[in-house]
Structure 1
Amino acid sequence: MREKDIRSMTYRLHISLFFFYLLAFTSSYSLNVANFTICASTNLYKNKIISTVQDSAKIELKNKIDKAANDSLKIASAYFEYGQYLNNSGEKEASIDYLKLAIKIANKTSNKAQIAEFDNYLANVYWQAGIYQSSIDTYILAYKSAAITQDSSQMAKISMNLASNYNYLGDYNEAIKYALNALKIKETAKDWERICYHYVAMATIFKETDNVEKWDYYIQKAYKLKDVENCASFGDIAKIYNNLGSIAVRKGNHKKALIYFDSLLVLSKQAGFDKGISAALGNSSNIYKELNQPEKALELLLESEKYFGDPYEIISNNNSKAELYRLLGQEQKALDLVMKNTSLNDLRFYSMEHENTLSLLSDLNADLLNYKAALKWNDSLRILENKLRDDKVRKGIEELETKYETAKKEQQIELLTAENELKNQGINTGIAIVSFLVTVIILILYIVSIRNKQAELKQNNLRLQVLRTQMNPHFVFNALGSIQNFMLKNDARKASQYLSQFASLTRATLNNSTAETISLADEISMLKNYMALEKMRKQNKFIYSINYDDDLDLDFIRIPPMLNQPFIENAIKHGFKNIDNGGILEITITDKKDWVEFIIEDNGEGFPEGKIKGGYKSMAMSIFENRRKLIRQKYKKDFKFEILNLNDEYPNQTGVRITINIPILNND
């Protein structure tokens, strides 16, 4: 090909390339412009949404203030809620302004409970914003307000928040002072809600000062209460397992440590608790490093980075990865990671990781032959170590904690002494009560014995009275006189018959007067003999009958003796007093399962008007009432007793009907 043709082709090629690059540049520019436009639109849309949300929150705030009218408490609460909203939205400065406004209004109402709540929240926002001294000052104000209200739960929470602040700032004496105060409040009030949080916070202070014994002591206290209702939140439980694993590492028990960290990992994954997951993975990585498995350890660290949420995790992870890279011979990569920690302001607040960072910087620079830098970082390390291991600091913390534990033990001794005194008093009181009860029981038994004797004596007297009633001289002499008349009239048959009945009645009366119960057959036989003799005495002025069912088991049924005779005597003596003949006396006996019903009915004159209502009682009726009371007292059984003047219900009839339900005493 000729040189001219070659130049021509080269020229055309350059022209083509020029247009190609121009087209590519134009396209690229267009795409960038389009992307910029899309991003700008998206950001504008996002800002519009945020603005809309903020506007709606402000409208809600205004509505709450309008509804509150002149109620300062509600207005303060409205500003407080809006301050919380701003804090959650990341607007710390605006949040602080509204929270301060809420506290100002609350102070005017002197509502200390509300002031304590608002100040506690504001102090936390100050801390998040890095305004540490204002946070501490505000916590102190919150504590004073809570102390006025005697709200032990709020006081303990605020005091422990102060302890955490001071611990973060490295002022361990103040930290332990407020932590012990929080514990004292909780334990004195026996308030076990979130008590594990307080024990973990105490343990953390001793961990930072490398006091493993006390660190372990308070974590074990928290561990024992972690499953008790309301004693721990999930976050508290996660911290307990994390600390138990770390303590096991410090004691050289790697197997036990891995078990605790695995438990933490499982629990945290179930609950979606990122902080717990990252802590479990990071701490497990440290163990595998100690077991000389750096690849496995590095794998766990890289996985843990997915769950980071605060500066401590970043600092700790950088140190751990740097140690692994050093083991793998990648010292420069390790040094770069550790140097990142020095650019983080939060490093100074984590004493152990700060110490670890300085130690790594010294060692890694020495490995890379940077001896001047190694010496510089080593000097910084010694200064920090002296601060952390300062005997005054350690002794001050331990003395405060020891004083607290001693005071608590003295208080427990006082309580035990008081309890023993109360127990002794209780024993003495118990002995006195028992002695009193024994005396009362003996007295009751004595009284019961006397009453039983009196009742027995009374019953004997009643028996004698019944005997006298039935066998009174007038009845005996008249009965014997009537029998004598039959003998004089040479009516030997009737005289013998009545004499036999008289003898039977006398024998039955003497026998039954001392008996508790008699058979129904004996009662009927005695009544028949009595009425036959009375009929003979009254020269047949009346007739009588005893009616009962043929199936009635007269020999089996047992009843108290001689309860009916006094009423039969009254019927004959008073009812038939003014008649010469035609008297009728009927006795009807019916089995009523638990008692025997006797109905005694005559057609005599009846009671004069008003005598029944007026409570008239003959001697026989008085004896009956007394016997009835004794039977009720002894056998716990009562029986019905009714008297009816027949003329009161039936104007064409005369006479009296008496109904007696006598209890059956077969089983007594």
Structure 2
Amino acid sequence: MTHFFKICFCSGCLILLSSQFIFAQIEKAEVIPLSISVRDSILSELSNAGSDSLQLEAVFKRIRRRRRTLKDSYKAVLHTYIRHCSDEGFERGEMLMLDRMGVNERFAGRFDSAVYYHNQSLVLALQQGDSLQLSYNYNNLGQVYRLQDMSSLAIANFHKALAIQEAIGNTKGAAYTQNTLGAAYVVQEDYPKALYYFNQSLESASNVGDKRTMSYNYGAIGEVYLLQDQVDSAMYYFNEAKNIKLEIGDKKGLAVAQHLIGQAWYAAGNMEEASASFQTALSSHIKNRNTRYAALCYDFMGKIMLVENKMDSAAYYLDKAKVIAEKVHKFEYLMSINKSLIELYQKREDWPLAIEVLNENQTIRDSVFNLKKNKAIQTLEIEYQTEKRQHQIDLLSAENDLKNQGIQLGIAIIVLLLLSIALGVYVQSARRKRGVLERDKLKQQLLRSQMNPHFLFNALGSIQSYMYKNDVKNAARYMGNFAALTRSILNNSNVEQVSLEEELSTLRNYLELEKMRMQNSFDYKIELPDTLDIEFVDVPPMMVQPFVENAIKHGVKDMSEGGMISISFKEEGELLHVVVVDNGIGLKKSINAANKSHRSMATAIFNQRIKIIQKNYPNVPAPLIQDISGAGTSGTQIDIFLPIMELSSHE
């Protein structure tokens, strides 16, 4: 065992709950029969997989994608998968799913159980020398401790995760960990360190084009400045966060950014702007069921009403805030809300109510103090047990090293000779494979670079048509949308895969632009089944757009009104089945009407890309184009099949 893994092992072996107790509780839990067919289908696949690692990997990915569909069955399916992998000796699957189980327990607020599972996964990662998984485990342990206000333990685990990520060159993971480190230092009110790590995360995310993490960091930096009463700096960073949220189409994140801007306006004393920002944010928070920010919004609206001496409105908002805060057990929110209620009752000269809320706040403050004290004691105990276990590991490791030195030397000589023989063969083979891989990779990038300028050229033509008509307002609006779309395309031009959520955002933006250009002569609809988790399904970028473009250019372009383009998505095993239907003139008439010399560049590029993709995903069939014209109807249907690719990031 190397020195690096000895150091890592200290937290991996710290198990807070016994495995017998955890598994006994899970086995007793009643599985609510929701989405029974999906659950039974997965369990059947798992049973049939036996010890086949490829099939077990496929089942693992399916479980991850179906977690929302499984709902109450999800935990039981995770547990069954863990048991199956343990029985079959597939340690990698067991390791990955133990980590998933830890994440599930953390989301459910069962923190001791979450620590147990992440540590179990970490032990297996150490045994297999899986550095990437180790970084995930340490990061997830840090998240669990952070949510329990155990900042020192959270920071220690985040630093371990960051050290591994930097060592293996995982820049995207490092950006995420740096952000969480910054958040942990904010809790400790160490603002210089918090800013340092947020800025480090911002730089790392910028280097890999991770817009989502960039927006998180802009918002977090703004919050640190706001905590230090530097309102102008805070406002700048909040607006930067808002602009990126708009660019990537993150509606939930946009509401949070709008909320933070409201807080900055409130701190600046501009109640009118603050109220407008909070009202905008509040409607989104309610729609998105973001109870945390909804409570904060109501609280700030109540504070604004107090400043404006609108007592009835203040009471309304503060009561709303308190109901939510009590429901989600947010003590820090309750203390802030109660402080405003005390001010309200004082202004109304309702002294009994003011004293009642004052006493309630003191009780909450005492509870928070006791909770923090208990957490501090628990943190010290965990740190002591960790250090004790590490000391035992070091002693055993030293003893084993002495015993094994002689044996290891002999084995090393034999292995060295065998490796020398095998190395020559391997190097030649690896060079050939690397050459083929690099050619395919470069060809993919070249084809994407061909597609993007072609796509941009068509969109620029749309803007030009508005300018010819001297329609300044719509030209400006179109230009704004086009700029957002351009950034999205450029971000995706250097990546092999994107989430279906990102792909849909780009597709919707393109359709909206074309719809404006054609004066709303057509409409569109995108149909997604509830079971398709678009955040966790990765596909090759810009593969559907060429066919949507053809549906517009050759299907509905001559229709003055009533055009319709329908796009539906359905998961079929390891493939994503996309169906594009238009009610245009139909395939045969479209071919006859087109100039014989015309050749669709976008479609040609698609065909070349799909051939390259089929080298890694041979089960991907070619697209099927058919004329669906019939009695009184016309149109074209295109069936496209895309591979569901290995997830590019870890939760």
**TM bucket by the smaller chain?**
0.3 to 0.5
TM-score by length of 2: 0.47
Q: Higher relative CO (CA 8 A, sep ≥ 6), structure 1 or 2?
A: 2
Larger Rg: 1
Normalised to the residue count of structure 1, the TM-score between the two structures is 0.46
